[in-house]
Amino acid sequence: MDHVLTFMDYHIFTPYVYSGSWPESNVARQILSLWIITTLGAELIYLGFGALNFYFVFDHDLMKHPLFIKNQVKNEIRLGSVSLFWMSFPTVGLFYLEIKGHSKLYDNIETQGLSGVILSIAGFLFFTDMCIYWIHRFMHHKSIYKYLHKQHHIFKIPTPFASHAFHPLDGFLQSLPYHIYPFIFPLHKMVYLSLFVFVNIWTISIHDGDYRIPGQLIHLINGAAHHVDHHLYFKYNYGQYLTLWDRLGGSYHYPSALLAKGPHDDIQKLKQ
Ligand SMILES: [Zn+2]
Ligand SMILES: [Zn+2]
């Protein structure tokens, strides 16, 4: 995030936003700048990729499903945008620690070598997949579900805009593994930024109603077909990228959509 902050300072904040008397090294200015970058960046990724997905991938026929609620898209966008706004506050605290050099992020690819970079990508995906599975399962515990996670499950037939529609605390807790990883393990800064964009796009994609997954990967990858069953039946498929932790945790459910029992099949039956 230090490179993003330096870039924004140089091209936008210093020449156009702040007065010349507020130095770039000032702590309050850095925190405010990080908050602007985090909030705008997250909203842009969410609304930008969400809209692209909604118009070009999402099957609008799903909006005819009886469980698709009135004004759903508007409600998803409102909850998602407000949640990202509030989530930015604690996230900025972690980004600030990161720009102050407390993380294990590095600049030079030679530090870990190419094999180290590839291993760190695999490590990041494995670590975050595992943590999000257990945090998500914890969110379904009956003592906590109705206070936080229920907001995401209002949408039984989600659209791409449901991807970030969480209670802000739920959203922040589920994003924590992404931010904690570089404080525990070494990670190249550009790889971190790219993975951050990737995980957001992935989250959008598992809500897009495109249930296709190539060949045998259906057993390995947790896609939209798996995640729609999570929205419909609650106690299955808590995973993020892989089905691994659902299989180990006994919550794996083969996608109904691939057994001709999914939302599209419900709509077809209603048409007959
Ligand atoms: Zn859930
Ligand atoms: Zn979801």
pLDDT at 21: 83
- What's the gap in Å between 239 CA and the centre of ligand 1? 9
Q: What is the mean pLDDT of the chain?
A: 93
What are 208-225's pLDDT values in tens digits? 999 888 888 889 999 999
pLDDT at 25: 84
- What's the gap in Å between 149 CA and the centre of ligand 1? 6
- What's the gap in Å between 232 CA and the centre of ligand 1? 10
Q: Would you give the distance in Å from CA 253 to the centre of its chain?
A: 22
- What's the gap in Å between 205 CA and the centre of ligand 1? 16
The residue range of the domain holding 49 is 2-271
- CB of 262 closer than 8 Å to CB of 255: yes
What are 107-140's pLDDT values in tens digits? 988 888 889 999 999 999 999 999 999 999 999 9
- Nearest-ligand number for the alpha carbon of 165: 2
pLDDT at 270: 83
- What's the gap in Å between 237 CA and the centre of ligand 1? 9
Rounded distance between C-alpha atoms, residue 131 and residue 51, angstroms: 28
Residue 259 has pLDDT above 80, yes or no: yes
- Nearest-ligand number for the alpha carbon of 136: 1
- Nearest-ligand number for the alpha carbon of 206: 2
pLDDT at 214: 84
Helix (H, G, I), strand (E, B) or coil at 145: coil
- CB of 236 closer than 8 Å to CB of 246: yes
* Confidence band of 6 (pLDDT split at 50, 70, 90): confident
Count how many domains the chain has: 1
Rounded distance between C-alpha atoms, residue 122 and residue 43, angstroms: 27
* Confidence band of 106 (pLDDT split at 50, 70, 90): very high
**Alpha helices for 140-188 (secondary structure H):** 168-184
- Nearest-ligand number for the alpha carbon of 207: 2
Distances, alpha carbon 118 to alpha carbons 75, 111, 122, in Å: 39, 13, 6
Rounded distance between C-alpha atoms, residue 257 and residue 261, angstroms: 5
Residue 19 has pLDDT above 80, yes or no: no
pLDDT at 230: 97
Q: At what angle do helices 72-99 and 168-184 cross, to 10 degrees?
A: 30
- What's the gap in Å between 179 CA and the centre of ligand 1? 21
Average pLDDT score over residue span 67-83: 96
- Nearest-ligand number for the alpha carbon of 139: 1
What are 36-68's pLDDT values in tens digits? 999 999 999 999 999 999 999 999 999 999 999
DSSP character string of 85-136: HHHHHHHHHHHHHHHTT-S-EES-GGGTHHHHHHHHHHHHHHHHHHHHHHHH
Distances, alpha carbon 115 to alpha carbons 124, 180, 188, 197, 244, in Å: 14, 22, 12, 22, 24
Distances, alpha carbon 196 to alpha carbons 46, 72, 193, 232, in Å: 12, 27, 5, 28
- What's the gap in Å between 52 CA and the centre of ligand 1? 24
Distances, alpha carbon 57 to alpha carbons 51, 164, 205, 259, 263, in Å: 10, 17, 9, 21, 16
Residue 248 has pLDDT above 90, yes or no: yes
Tokens 């604690």 correspond to what residue? 90
- What's the gap in Å between 184 CA and the centre of ligand 2? 27
105 bridge partner residues: 187
- Confidence (pTM): 0.91
- What's the gap in Å between 208 CA and the centre of ligand 2? 10
The residue ranking higher by pLDDT, 91 or 112, is 91
- What's the gap in Å between 232 CA and the centre of ligand 2? 10
Assigned token pair, 254: 């083969």
pLDDT at 4: 86
Average pLDDT score over residue span 77-97: 97
